[in-house]
Amino acid sequence: MEIHPSGFDGHAQQAYASQEAIRLARDLNPKIRIFARAAYLGEISALRQAGADAVFSGEGEVALVMTEFLLRQLGAKPEQVDLERDRIREELFGGSSSIEPPMSISMQTDADSSCALNQSKQSEDGKS
């Protein structure tokens, strides 16, 4: 493991930078939806406290997949696997890592966006 002059290893430095980026984004736009990736389960709470709406952890997802595989190998029924997966997800992540998008989100293509920007600019300039 490489130790940086700051006294933090590279991973700890990156985790701190992620928390700062989340705080800055939240300060700039309180309504922004922030999704973060944590390398380790232990980082989830710090990223949530920093303002992330949802945090995903590769370590946790691998643990869930391994658990599902093992349960199926031992003959668990699909309903049992679902119940156990939900229980473990709650334990590892503190609940579901997914959040519902707001109903007002509409999908726009780049052409739609540039067209809307051009129309907005023209109305600002007094053109129609």
pLDDT tens digits, residue range 1-42? 344 445 556 677 888 899 999 999 999 999 999 999 998 889
Backbone angles phi, psi at 64, to 5 degrees: -65, -45
Backbone angles phi, psi at 57, to 5 degrees: -125, 125
Which CATH class name applies to 10-94? alpha beta
Tokens of 15: 């985790």
Largest CA distance in the chain: 71
pLDDT-derived band at 123 (thresholds 50, 70, 90) equals very low
Instruction: Spell out the domain ranges in the chain.
Output: 10-94
Instruction: Specify the pTM.
Output: 0.59
* Cα distance between the two ends of the chain: 62
The better pLDDT of the pair 27, 125 is held by: 27
